[in-house]
Amino acid sequence: MSRPAALVQRVIKAYDVRGLVGEEIDEAFVRDVGASFARLVRDTARQVVIGYDMRASSPTLAGAFAAGVVAQGLDVVRIGLASTDQLYFASGLLNCPGAMFTASHNPAAYNGIKLCRAGAKPVGKDTGLTTISDEVIAGVPDHDGPSGSITDRDVLADYGEFLRSLVDIGGLRPLRVAVDAGNGMAGHTTPAVLGAIPSITLAPLYFELDGTFPNHEANPLDAANLVDLQNHVLDTGADIGLAFDGDADRCFVVDERGQAVSPSAVTALVAARELTREIGATVIHNLITSRAVPELVSERGGTPVRSRVGHSYIKALMAETGAIFGGEHSAHYYFRDFWGADSGMLAALHVLAALGEQDRPLSEMMADYQRYEASGEINFTVTDAPAVIDAVLQSFGSRVHAIDHLDGVTVDLGDGCWFNLRMSNTEPLLRLNVEARTSEEVKALVDEIAGHIPSVAEEFT
C-alpha cells in the first residue's frame, strides 16, 4: 500500500528511522520498511540479523520488520534484546545486514530502526534510506517466490568475549567501577562484558531494563542526567563512573571526584593507546572535538583527519582512510577492529585498561589529555541561521586568524581560541561550540557571540 510522503519523509531521516509509536510508526509501516530493506540488500545477502532494545514496543515492531524481510525471501536471525553495538557485532560476525530497534536516548513514546549492511556498514540517506523511503511511499512490490525462515541466536557472550579480546586487560589493578545504565541496554551488556573481568568490582545503578526511563532520561550528553552517577561514584568510593545512553552505543566517563570527563579527552586517550599498536596510523576526529586531539595524535606519530559531525561521515572516512580509530564530542567512538563501527563499551574497556595499568587516580591520568576548556554544545533557536552566522562573522572582523566551512563555519582566533557555528539538519537550531585555554575566555567568547544571536539558548555540556 502507498503511504503519505510527508509522514514517511518525516520518519525516515538522514541516518535512521525514528518517530512516535502509534502515530508515526506502527507494525504495518515497519513491515513495509523491512520488506524494502530486504529488497535493497538481497543482491548481496541471504539473511538479516535483528535486535531490539528494552522499549515496550520494540519486540512487536521487530517482529513486524522480520515479517517484511521473510516475505521478500530472505532469512532472519533474531538476537533478541541487544545494545546497538551488540547488533553491529552480530552483523560483523555473521557478515550480513542488520536492523536494530531503538530510539536511543529519545523518550519512551518513540521508537526507531538503525540499519546496516553486512559488516556493520551504515545505511544512511545516500546509501539506501532514500530508496526505502521512496518505496514505502509508492508501495513496496510483492516478492514472487518462497518466503524466508526465522531462527534465533544468542550472541551476548560472544560479543563480550570479542570486546575483551581487543583490549589487554590481564594485568589490571583492582578497580571499583560505578555504572549508570539509565534503565537502558547497558544493564544487559555490562555484566556480560565487564562482569567477566576478575579485577573489576561493579557498582551498578539503574540496571533494570525499563523503556519508560523512570529515573532519568537515558541521555548522558545532558549534564543533568549524570548527576545520579556522580553521586553514586562518591557514595561507593568508585575509581571511575561510566554512563551509557539508552541503546548503550555511547559511553560517558566520570572521575573519582565525581567530575565529568570530556569525551574529547577520552578520544585523545584511546587514540594514544591505539597509536602504540600502529605507529603512523590515521585517527578521525570531528571538527568540534578539542584541538588537543589532533595535537596529541600528531605528537604520537599519527595522522589526524578532521571530519564533519555525524556518524555517517566518520564511518565513511574510517573506511576511506583505513583509520584505526575515530572519536566524536558526543561520546561516539569508532574502531577499525570493530568493523569501523562505534562501541561505547569498547571505549570503556580502553579507559579501564589505561586506569588499571598505573596507580594514579583517573582525574590525574586524564589531566594529560585535557589541554583546553570548552563550552559544550549550545543550541540557539533561530529563524534565519545564515543571516545570524554572517552577523557573527562580521562582528569579529580582523580578529579572525583563519576560517573554514567544512561543517558550518569554524573560526580560529589564535592562541588556542576557536568557535564553530553550524545549522542543524533537522531543526531550526544553530549550534555553537567554543574552546579556549581558560574557562574565563570561553565564557567571554560565548557571551560575545550570543549577543549577536536573537534567540533562546539551551546548553548541553
Q: Mean pLDDT for each consecutive 10-residue tract of the chain (461 residues)?
A: 90 92 97 98 97 98 98 98 98 98 92 97 92 97 97 98 96 97 98 97 98 95 95 98 96 98 97 96 96 96 94 89 96 97 98 98 96 93 90 92 94 95 83 96 96 66 40
C-alpha cell at 332: 561516539
Grid cell locating 354:
589505561
The model's pLDDT over 372-421, given as tens digits with 9 standing for 90+, comes to 999 989 999 998 889 999 999 999 988 999 999 999 999 999 999 999 99
* SS3 of residue 245 by DSSP: coil
Quick check: pTM over 0.85?
yes
> Quick one: pLDDT at residue 106?
87
Give the residue among 91, 105, 121, 97 at the shortest CA–CA distance from 37.
97
Q: From the candidates 36, 58, 83, 104, give the one annotated as an active-site residue.
A: 104
Residue with cell 557573527: 392
Beta partners for residue 251, in sequence order = 244
Instruction: Report helix, strand or coil for 24.
Output: coil
Query: 236-280 pLDDT, tens per residue?
Result: 999 999 999 999 999 999 999 999 999 999 999 999 999 999 999
pLDDT at 457: 52
Measure the CA dihedral 233/234/238/239, to 10°: 100
Spatial separation of the C-alpha atoms in residues 246 and 248, rounded to whole Å = 5
How many CA atoms are closer than 13 Å to the CA of 300, on its beta-carbon side? 24
User: Distance between CA atoms of 90 and 260, rounded to whole angstroms?
Assistant: 32
Nearest by Cα to 341 from 159, 142, 143, 78: 159
Task: Give the Cβ contact number of residue 379 at 10 Å.
Answer: 17
Instruction: Dig out the grid coordinates for 250 from the structure.
Output: 555511547
| Overall size of the chain counted in residues | 461
Decide if 184 contacts 81 (C-beta within 8 A): no
The residue behind cell 538476537 is 79
Q: Is 104 a catalytic residue?
A: yes
Report the C-alpha gap between 366 and 279 in whole angstroms.
22
